[in-house]
Amino acid sequence: MNKHLSVFSDPVFRRRLLMSVAGVLICGLSVGLFKRAAFGVDPFQSMMSGLDAVIPIPFGTLYMIVCAVFLIFSLVFDRSKIGIATFINLFLLGYVAEFSLGLLTKLFPAPSVLLRAVFLVLGIVIMCFSASLYFTADLGVSVYDAIALILSEKQSRIPFRVLRIMADFICVLIGVLLCLAAGFSWQKIFASVGIGTIITAFFMGPLIDLFCRRIAQPFLDKARMD
């Protein structure tokens, strides 16, 4: 018991825990911003939108089920990526996204195109920043993020940012095909898979890497120096 308590008394561990929890919760906010912008959500959420269109259960519950499937991949190939943040993401992110979208819809029932563009930019920046927090904290990452990280560490030929782009495009393709199978119009599909999706598919990997190096890692290093 004393050993476990000593872990929580470590200022570096407390900062890592704070970064993990904040990263997951902030990510939920960014998903709400993406959805309210209606210019296309991030690649993983575009796949989730396609699944949501064909599977008639609440989004939060569906998110947990899909993440549980991805969790099996991480458990088989690299359990080191599974940690506290993984399970916070698994059980909370879908519901935080639902709540943030509901709140934004209530506050901004008819957003202008300009305001939607602001939501999109904020969503991209916040999502990349949140990912950098829990990547750097190293207490587990989301099961989707773990895939590119595991693959990049298992081989050295393809860098993380390239593997992330490849994984993102696969998710986008699955999302589009599922929405088409559900009979969605192209206008409705573009609300889930649009310019925002393309931007994040190309830039999330590099932006996450930038935030890790410039903000998240220095923030954690400061706790080690104190």
- Model confidence pLDDT, tens digit, residues 4-28: 545 567 888 889 989 988 998 899 9
Position 5 in a domain: no
Note the pLDDT of residue 7: 59
Q: pLDDT per residue over 120-163, tens digit each?
A: 999 999 999 998 998 898 888 788 888 888 888 776 677 877 88
Average pLDDT across the chain, whole number: 84
Mean pLDDT of 53-82: 84
Q: Got the DSSP string for 55-70? A: S-S-HHHHHHHHHHHH
Residue type, 112: S
Is the pLDDT score of 73 beyond 70? yes
Position 218 in a domain: yes
Position 6 in a domain: no
Note the pLDDT of residue 148: 81
Position 71 in a domain: yes
* Domain assignment of residue 155, given as a range: 12-225
Q: How far apart are CA 208 and CA 215, in angstroms?
A: 10
Q: How far apart are CA 141 and CA 24, in angstroms?
A: 9
Note the pLDDT of residue 185: 81
Mean pLDDT of 105-126: 94
Position 111 in a domain: yes
Q: Strand, helix or coil at 139?
A: coil
Going by pLDDT thresholds of 50, 70 and 90, the confidence category of residue 1 is: very low
Position 170 in a domain: yes
- Work out how many domains the chain is built from and give that number: 1
Position 3 in a domain: no
Position 87 in a domain: yes
Note the pLDDT of residue 153: 78
Note the pLDDT of residue 2: 47
